[in-house]
């Protein structure tokens, strides 16, 4: 099965969107699920959230920032080229229930993940308030789509280059003081989710968060995406990635998120491994086996 790219778009600074033909996945995917993508053979697999899908045409859209090596490779692929492997849909779908007022907060790349959830809540009949934040106007993405998916949208930029100046959490705090909220959905950096959860914990508002730890196989086999929920280790790829925000141990999550930041000292370490026996002799001995009849 080949996964052909049929459309590609640059959304913001360093953020790209690609549409991929994957009928099996498009048929099944629900809001909040993700896929595991590997652009080339024998490469790293990375989890990416599915932003939208079209079961009739059989394609899925993925939005990703070009940060690491694998996402850069993925971003370098052109239309009509194929991706080596996509596995999905993985993870549990988001719990979409009809609530009165739902506040969806997202910053940075989290906006791409919250968009299908906003759409689902709106289709379900809830009133959706979107609060999205970015560093600058250039880094803000999917703003028109979010406007359509929410009943009301508040946009915050750190330097005030677009709409309101300030952090998304500050605006959320202000909003929470003035309005009645039934459910809060937060996706973004760990600090942002921790702040949102501490705010809602005071008012006992149900809060859902989506965690994005590093995953290797995305099927519950490696254990790299373990997070502490309610004092218990669970795998985010199987039980998540959506969790009750008040139960997540954010200190632990912070450690796990930074666990793969490689220090320069560890890179390119020379090997001290030396084979004891003469390898050329072994090779000659091995090759002599082919000369037999």
Partner 1 sequence: MGIDIPRFIRSLREEKLNDAYEKIREKNCFPSICGRICSAPCEAACILNEEGAPPIGIRALERYAADFGKSKITRRNQPFLGGKKIAVVGSGPAGLTAASELAQRGYQVTVFESFDKPGGILRYGIPEFRIPKRVLDNEINEIRALGVKIEVNFLIGHTVTLDELIHQDFAAVLLATGAGIPKFMDIPGVSLGGVYYGEEFLMRVNRAKGPLFLRRLDKLPVGKRIAVIGSGNTALDCARTGVRLGREVTLIFRRTEEDMRVKREERIYAHEEGIRFEPMVKPVEILADPSRFVGGLKCVRMDFADADGSGEWKLVQVSDSEFILDADTVVIAVGHNPNSLVGKNVSHLKVNQDGTFKVDEKSGQTTVPKVFAAGNVRTNASSLIDALASGKKVAEEMDAHLK
Which of residues 178 and 272 has its CB atom nearest to partner 1 in the complex?
Answer: 272
Report the Cα 201 to chain-centroid distance in Å.
25
The answer to whether residue 89 forms part of the interface with partner 1 (CB under 8 A) is: yes
Residue count, binding to partner 1 (CB under 8 A): 53
The answer to whether residue 148 forms part of the interface with partner 1 (CB under 8 A) is: no
The answer to whether residue 288 forms part of the interface with partner 1 (CB under 8 A) is: no
- Mask for 225-244, x = binds partner 1 (CB under 8 A): -x-x----x----x------
3-state secondary structure (DSSP) of residue 117? helix
- Quick one: angle between helices 168-178 and 190-203, nearest 10? 10
> Contact region for partner 1 (CB under 8 A) — 108-116, 145-153, 159-167, 248-256?
248-256
> Contact region for partner 1 (CB under 8 A) — 54-62, 123-131, 189-197, 222-230?
222-230
The answer to whether residue 284 forms part of the interface with partner 1 (CB under 8 A) is: no
Sign of CA dihedral 115, 236, 95, 131: negative
CA distance 194 to 190: 6
CA distance 197 to 186: 9
The answer to whether residue 81 forms part of the interface with partner 1 (CB under 8 A) is: no
158 touches 136 (CB < 8 A): yes
CA distance 244 to 186: 10
118 touches 146 (CB < 8 A): yes
Reported as type and span, the H/E element at residue 282 is: helix 279-288
The answer to whether residue 268 forms part of the interface with partner 1 (CB under 8 A) is: yes
> Contact region for partner 1 (CB under 8 A) — 82-90, 164-172, 179-187, 190-198?
82-90
The answer to whether residue 67 forms part of the interface with partner 1 (CB under 8 A) is: no
CA distance 178 to 118: 22
| Interface with partner 1 (CB under 8 A) | 1, 24-25, 28, 38, 41-45, 68-70, 84-90, 214, 216-217, 219-224, 226, 228, 233, 238, 252, 255-256, 258-263, 266-273, 276, 289, 292
């Amino acid at each position: 099965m080949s996964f052909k790219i049929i459309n590609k778009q640059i959304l913001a600074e360093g953020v790209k969107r690609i549409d991929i033909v994957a009928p099996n996945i498009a048929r099944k995917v629900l809001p909040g699920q993700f896929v595991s993508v590997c652009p080339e053979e024998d490469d790293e697999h990375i989890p990416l959230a599915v932003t939208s899908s079209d079961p009739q045409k059989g394609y899925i859209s993925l939005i990703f920032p070009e940060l690491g090596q694998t996402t850069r490779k993925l971003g370098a692929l052109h239309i009509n080229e194929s991706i080596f492997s996509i596995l999905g849909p993985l993870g549990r779908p988001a719990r979409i229930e009809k609530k009165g007022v739902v506040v969806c907060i997202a910053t940075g790349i989290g906006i791409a993940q919250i968009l299908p959830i906003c759409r689902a809540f709106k289709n379900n009949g809830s009133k959706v308030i979107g609060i999205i934040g970015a560093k600058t106007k250039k880094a803000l993405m999917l703003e028109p789509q979010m406007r359509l998916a929410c009943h009301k949208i508040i946009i915050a930029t750190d330097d005030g280059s677009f709409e309101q100046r300030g952090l998304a959490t500050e605006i959320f705090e202000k909003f929470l003081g003035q309005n009645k909220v039934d459910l809060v959905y937060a996706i973004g950096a760990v600090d942002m989710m921790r702040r949102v959860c501490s705010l809602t914990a005071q008012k006992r508002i149900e809060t859902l968060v989506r965690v994005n730890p590093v995953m290797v196989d995305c099927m519950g086999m490696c254990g790299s995406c373990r997070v502490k929920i309610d004092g218990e280790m669970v795998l985010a790829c199987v039980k998540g990635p959506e969790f009750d925000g008040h139960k997540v141990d954010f200190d632990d999550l912070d450690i796990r998120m930074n666990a793969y930041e490689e220090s320069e000292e560890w890179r390119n370490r020379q090997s001290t491994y030396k084979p004891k026996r003469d390898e050329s002799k072994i090779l000659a001995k091995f090759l002599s086996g082919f000369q037999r009849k």
